[in-house]
Amino acid sequence: MPSLYLSTPGAKASLVSEHLRVEIPDANDKSRSAVRTIPLHEIERAFIEEHTDISVSALCELLRREIPVCFSSAHSGRVLGHALAPDGRAANRIAHYQRALDPGFALAVAATLVDAKIANSRRILQRLSANRPDADCTHVNATLEHDRRATLSATNLDSLRGHEGTAAGRYFEALSGFFPVHCPFERRSRRPPHNPANAILSYGYTLLVGEMETVLHAIGLDPALGFLHEPEDKRPALALDLIEPFRAPIVDALALDLLNHAILRPDTHFEHRNGGIYLTRDGRQRLHLGYERRLEREFTSEQTGKRTKLRLEFLNQVRSLRDSILSLSPFEPFLMN
Indicate whether 248 and 181 sit together in one domain: yes
SS3 of residue 279 by DSSP: strand
Indicate whether 209 and 317 sit together in one domain: yes
Q: Is residue 332 part of a domain?
A: no
Indicate whether 29 and 110 sit together in one domain: no
Domain boundary, last residue among 58, 83, 108: 83
**Cα(321)–Cα(331) distance, integer angstroms:** 5
Q: Is residue 255 part of a domain?
A: yes
Instruction: Provide the CATH number for the domain around residue 98.
Output: 1.20.120.920
Q: Is residue 273 part of a domain?
A: yes
Indicate whether 182 and 263 sit together in one domain: yes
Indicate whether 21 and 132 sit together in one domain: no
H or E segment and range at residue 59: helix 56-64
- Total count of domains within the chain: 2
Nearest in space to 119 (alpha carbons), one of 139, 141, 138, 134: 141
Indicate whether 169 and 230 sit together in one domain: yes
Q: Is residue 337 part of a domain?
A: no
Task: Return the bridge partners of 160, or none.
Answer: none
Q: Is residue 179 part of a domain?
A: yes
Q: According to the model, what pLDDT value does residue 168 have?
A: 94
Indicate whether 108 and 254 sit together in one domain: yes
Q: According to the model, what pLDDT value does residue 72 have?
A: 85
List, for residues 18-47, the tens digit of each pLDDT value.
999 998 887 666 667 788 899 999 998 888
Indicate whether 180 and 249 sit together in one domain: yes
Domain boundary, last residue among 37, 63, 83: 83
Indicate whether 130 and 198 sit together in one domain: yes
Nearest in space to 45 (alpha carbons), one of 14, 23, 67, 61: 67
Task: State which residues of the chain have pLDDT below 70.
Answer: 1, 27-31
Indicate whether 24 and 122 sit together in one domain: no
Q: Which domain holds residue 130?
A: 90-327
207, HSE (Cβ side, Cα atoms, 13 Å): 32
Cβ atoms 38, 22 nearer than 8 A: yes
Q: Is residue 333 part of a domain?
A: no
List, for residues 168-195, the tens digit of each pLDDT value.
999 999 999 999 988 888 888 777 898 9
Contacts of 286 (CB under 8 A, 6+ apart): 258, 263, 264, 269
Instruction: Provide the CATH number for the domain around residue 27.
Output: 3.100.10.20
Q: Is residue 103 part of a domain?
A: yes
**Cα(47)–Cα(214) distance, integer angstroms:** 11
Indicate whether 50 and 132 sit together in one domain: no
Indicate whether 52 and 102 sit together in one domain: no
Distances from the Cα of 180 to the Cαs of 135, 244, 253, 318, in angstroms? 13, 25, 13, 35
Domain boundary, last residue among 30, 55, 83: 83
